[in-house]
Amino acid sequence: MPKDCLEFRLATHEDFHEVVRMSEGVYGGLDYLPSHYHAFIDDPHRLVVLAELDCQIVGLSSAFIVDGGEVYIEKALRVAESCRGLGISRRLTDYVDQAVRSHFPAVERKRKLVVDAGKIQSLKKKGMEVVCNLQTTSFVDEPHDRSNQRACAIRAANNLPAVPTLPELRRLNEDDLHSVLHPEVSRNLLTNGLMSGRWDPLNFCEENFLYMLNNGYSLFSDDTKPFVESFSFGKCFEVPSGLQYFVDLHVSDVKHLKSHLLKHFVEMCRCDTQLPIYLTVSVINEAMVEAVESFCSEVLCLRQFDLPYASLGAVVEGKL
């Protein structure tokens, strides 16, 4: 494709409907971008860039500035199905890199989640290295099963005999963060000091916790002193085929894992909808995946849902 055929610009609110049309089918009906698009445009910590071919939007990518302005996360990259294989994603990524350098000169490093294992080697050649892995598994709560799910959530919330005794958890707010933001928590639960917040690999720091709290995430932890042994984030948002409740677990043992899943399952069951709800769980500790799957299937009575993308992602990072 001749270089002068493809043009790039920052996205606007007015581009929403064309972006949605271009993105149709992305992630098999679980695309988060439509419900977040306008917030991304208004967020001073983000850039959203469009690629246009013959005045038609054919690609999108965005940059999320995190970690005190030192890192940007590449997010929401997509190319129109009819234009794939033309090198648009590579040129779009290069343009976003340049835009970040221009708009956020303090950014020094780039971080992204890669679900295509074949791309990791090529990224390594560009100086990026794998810094941690994220394993994701998903379940669906169908409308015709919802009464059963709600009953299960009530039993879990009240620790009735159907659910074993599990560690107590508490909902955290800004004043409680001192018990989570302890170096031992990072050493015990994280890889290279990175935590997950709905696929966003973030540094373990107060600024990022506050960002999650201020953007509607439910944060739970145990009450162990002087520092916690587990914590989790959860949030529900719209996707084209229903709702998705995304949970990020940072745990090292099965008992805490179950407690966090119960808490977020109760939160999920409060969603007032007649649409399917997809419970998607992300863990940094890959050894916990089997426990997540068995507990969600056997105790929460949820049906496992095959994600339309790879369940194992590698977080890579390198100099911008």
Residue-wise pLDDT for 204-260, tens only, equals: 999 999 999 999 999 999 999 899 999 999 999 999 999 999 999 999 999 999 999
Average pLDDT over all residues of the chain: 90
**pLDDT given for residue 20 in this prediction:** 95
CATH superfamily of 3-107: Gcn5-related N-acetyltransferase (GNAT) (3.40.630.30)
Q: What percent of the chain has pLDDT over 70?
A: 93
Closest CA to 111 of 87, 130, 94, 88: 130
Within the chain, all domains assigned CATH 3.40.630.30 are found at 3-107, 132-318
Q: Kindly give the residue spans of alpha helices, DSSP state H, lying in 72-189.
A: 88-103, 118-125, 146-157, 183-189
Query: CATH assignment of 132-318?
Result: 3.40.630.30
The whole-angstrom separation of Cα 266 and Cα 250 is 18
Residue-wise pLDDT for 128-151, tens only, equals: 999 998 888 999 998 887 777 777
pTM for the predicted model, two decimal places: 0.90
Are 212 and 197 contacting, i.e. CB atoms less than 8 angstroms apart? yes
